[in-house]
Structure 1
Amino acid sequence: MNRRRNIVISLTAAMLSASLVYGMYKLQRIQIERQETVAVLVPKRFIAAGERLQKSDLEYKMVPNSAFMPEMLVDTDYAAGMETVIPLGKGEPILDWKVDRYYLQPKRTESTFQIPKEYIRSISNGIRAGDKVLLYASGDGSPSQRLFKEAVTVASVKTSGNVEIDSIENPNLLSLADGNKEQMYAARREANGMIEYLNLNLSEAQWLQIDSLCKNGALKLVVAYSPESLDLLAEGEVGEP
């Protein structure tokens, strides 16, 4: 009886010892793997060129240190809001040259159009380059209407002397890039000059719609500043790289 009990105890001790050794091995292996790999950002799905990255589109993937490159993005907050320059494959490490954040440049599906002065009824004096604006069509013989559901980006606003309207001491664009709402507000308060030339980033369909509505003079544009400019800033879509 004692012999059988001793055998059971010995077998149990051997199994526990083996389990402990295996557990230590797995723990050491995990630690080594963590030391030899880096977490990089990859898309959860295929992303076409010209799309803006959302946090929900991104996840982390472990890659070996030997395969890691400094161009690979590792910060979700930095990557969110970037526009893809070329298509990104699912699970493909995102390289910094494949995305961009320059909001004054038109997207892949857009061009920058100067809006003729005769097409404009009124412009909010507070708008600056980089802002989002809403466009409305207004005329005496028909009810006013909002042209597009989404706001459009202002590429530039200039005076009759072809000078960009902004504050010299606190430029709006620098404040926007730095994510500084206070300086951004101050830049709008301090800037002087009447807006004469307005350039917007529009798709071809948007421009053709504006042109067909306004070229006979019956309808004109009302350009309104959109709070979406500050919403994007607050969400981190506009920020220092």
Structure 2
Amino acid sequence: MSRKRSAGISVAAALLSVSVVYGLFHMQRLQLEKQETVAVVVPKRFIEAGKRLEMEDLIYRRMPRDTLDKDMLLDASAVAGMETVVPLGTNEPILAWKINRYRLLPAGSESTFQIPREYVRSISNGIRAGDKVTLYVSGEGEPSRRLFEELVTVASVKSSGNTEIDNMQNSNLLSLADDDKARMYASRRDANGMIDYINLNLTEPQWLLIDGYCKEGAGKLVIAFSPESLNVPAERTGEGS
């Protein structure tokens, strides 16, 4: 009986020893792999051009360090919120030139429409090119309501002289490029001129819905600035408290 117990202990010790050796080998292999590879940001699925990337669309993929391209992106948080310039394949390393922060150009499913002045009841004076706006429809004899759940991108805002409304000494778009919210606020506050023309990036169904409501004069648009343009939470702008 003692001999059987001794044999069992020996077998268990041998198995434990093998497990420890394998575990150490596996850890060493992982450490070596990390030293020789780098994690790059890739999409989980195929992404069409003109789509906004969210964190849930992105994962990391390890690849040999000597194949790393200077344009490959390594930080998913810096990629989230960008829009795709070209389609992205599943697990394809995302290159800097394939995404863009600026959304003045229409996405793949959109076109830029100038909204006729007779279609508009009011426009928030703080709106600038590149902003996100909320569209409401207001009509006689029926309650006003939000037209689209999604926000709409402003392509441009112009005065009656067909000049872009901005502060030329402190451009809103340059401030947007530098992610300088203080300068963006100052450019909106100090810019002169009334908005006479506004161009919006819309899908065809969105434009047809607007045209259907407004062309007979029964409904008009109310175009409101959204705090998402500056990535400022609503409660800080006094709208969500």
TM-score, normalized by the shorter chain, greater than 0.5: yes
**Which sits farther off after the overlay, 172-181 or 43-52?**
43-52
Aligned to 1:174: 174
SS at structure 1 position matched to 2:118? helix
1:218 to 1:29, Cα distance in 2 relative to 1, 3 A: closer
1:31 to 1:137, Cα distance in 2 relative to 1, 3 A: closer
1:84-110 superposed Cα distances (whole Å, 9 cap, x missing partner): 233333322222233222211111111
> Are residues 1:155 and 2:158 paired?
no
Aligned to 1:193: 193
Q: Residue type of the partner of 1:151?
A: L
1:44-63 superposed Cα distances (whole Å, 9 cap, x missing partner): 23333332211122121110
1:12-31 matches, within 5 Å, as: 28-31=28-31
Q: Within 2, Cα distance between the matches of 1:148 and 1:125?
A: 21
1:15 to 1:171, Cα distance in 2 relative to 1, 3 A: same
Q: Within 2, Cα distance between the matches of 1:18 and 1:151?
A: 60
Report the count of equivalent residues. Answer: 228
Q: Within 2, Cα distance between the matches of 1:17 and 1:203?
A: 65
1:28 to 1:138, Cα distance in 2 relative to 1, 3 A: closer
> Are residues 1:221 and 2:221 paired?
yes
Q: Which runs of 5+ in 1 are unaligned?
A: 1-12, 235-241
Q: Within 2, Cα distance between the matches of 1:146 and 1:16?
A: 67
Q: Within 2, Cα distance between the matches of 1:165 and 1:143?
A: 32
Q: Within 2, Cα distance between the matches of 1:139 and 1:168?
A: 37
Q: Residue type of the partner of 2:81?
A: G
TM-score (norm 1): 0.81
Aligned to 2:101: 101
SS at structure 2 position matched to 1:212? helix
Contact residue 122 and residue 223 of structure 2 kept, 8 A: yes
Aligned to 1:37: 37
1:66 to 1:215, Cα distance in 2 relative to 1, 3 A: same
Q: Within 1, Cα distance between the matches of 2:160 and 2:196?
A: 5
Aligned to 1:71: 71
SS at structure 1 position matched to 2:33? helix
Shift of 1:193: 0.4
1:183-233 superposed Cα distances (whole Å, 9 cap, x missing partner): 111111100001111101111111111111111122211111112213379
Q: Within 1, Cα distance between the matches of 2:148 and 2:43?
A: 30
Contact residue 141 and residue 218 of structure 1 kept, 8 A: no
TM-score (norm 2): 0.81
Q: Residue type of the partner of 1:116?
A: P
SS at structure 2 position matched to 1:183? helix
Percent identical pairs in the alignment equals 65
Q: CA RMSD in A?
A: 2.9
Shift of 1:111: 0.7
Q: Residue type of the partner of 1:217?
A: G
Contact residue 103 and residue 130 of structure 1 kept, 8 A: yes
1:164-201 superposed Cα distances (whole Å, 9 cap, x missing partner): 11112221122222222221111111000011111011
